Amino acid sequence: MRFKLTVAYDGRAFQGWQSQPSGRGVQQTIESTVARIADGVPVRVHGAGRTDRGVHATGQVAHFDAPERLDMNAGAWFRALNTNLPKQVRVMECELVDDSFNAQFDATGKHYEYRICRLQALPPLELGLAWHVPWPMDLALLERACQEMIGEHDFTAFSAQRKDGRELISGFSQRTISSIKLEERAGMLSLHFRGNSFLYKMVRLLTGSALRVALGRQPLSWLETLLHDPQGQKSQHVAPAGGLYLRAVEYVPSDNKTTGPLPVPSLEV
């Protein structure tokens, strides 16, 4: 049986989603927990995508195939995983899905939020959870910068190269951002990015670059050049990882992809 997980985690405790030699990847943390529940049987957990070290998630999606000998429904897996996982990781939903479902390849879009604290002093409980930017900022100019980023572009100038060099493949950097919305409340500014997919560090580079413009350190034309001449210079302004959250992964509803979530009891953890 294949199960779909919606996962939340505090990125400060991990070196990103992907498995790491140190053992501090969220992926392998869940894999080792599933294996423990399955009496040592190794199980591969496949995520919808990677998040970098220090990046948080409230809506990461993953799937795994449970060992056939285990007669456990979605509710049982939900309880067992949350009982055994470290407190910095929680399974928010567990669903039984069709064996053809793939958390990565079936995804049609993602929603990221970047949080910025504009207060003069960063509240201690926001440490590692928001980027502290206390300087005067032109929000109207920030809005204009974000509007420039919406649409289909070659985002080469806003991507970092992984060790495997995937971002250098011709056409790989073409992405579509459907919307960027700004919200501000009580000194906390949020940028909500929605798009079909995102390159490595793309949201952090877009955020850092947009803020350069809003802070008056670069003209809007500089950002426009990066968008329309992607083979020229690259942005070097990466917003800190701690302000970024993967809020949701989107899928096309399909009767043959999921049986829907099984009812599970609420669990205080």
Looking at the annotation, which residues are catalytic? 52
Kindly give, in sequence order, each residue whose CB lies less than 8 Å from that of residue 236, ignoring residues fewer than 6 positions away: none
| Nearest in space to 262 (alpha carbons), one of 72, 34, 25, 113 | 72
Task: Tell me how far apart the alpha carbons of residues 138 and 212 are, in angstroms, rounded to a whole number.
Answer: 10
Task: Tell me how far apart the alpha carbons of residues 254 and 243 are, in angstroms, rounded to a whole number.
Answer: 33
Task: Tell me how far apart the alpha carbons of residues 96 and 263 are, in angstroms, rounded to a whole number.
Answer: 11
Tracing tokens 């220090």 back to the chain, one arrives at 54
CB–CB of 55/4 below 8 Å? no
CB–CB of 247/60 below 8 Å? no
The two tokens of residue 129 are 């959870």
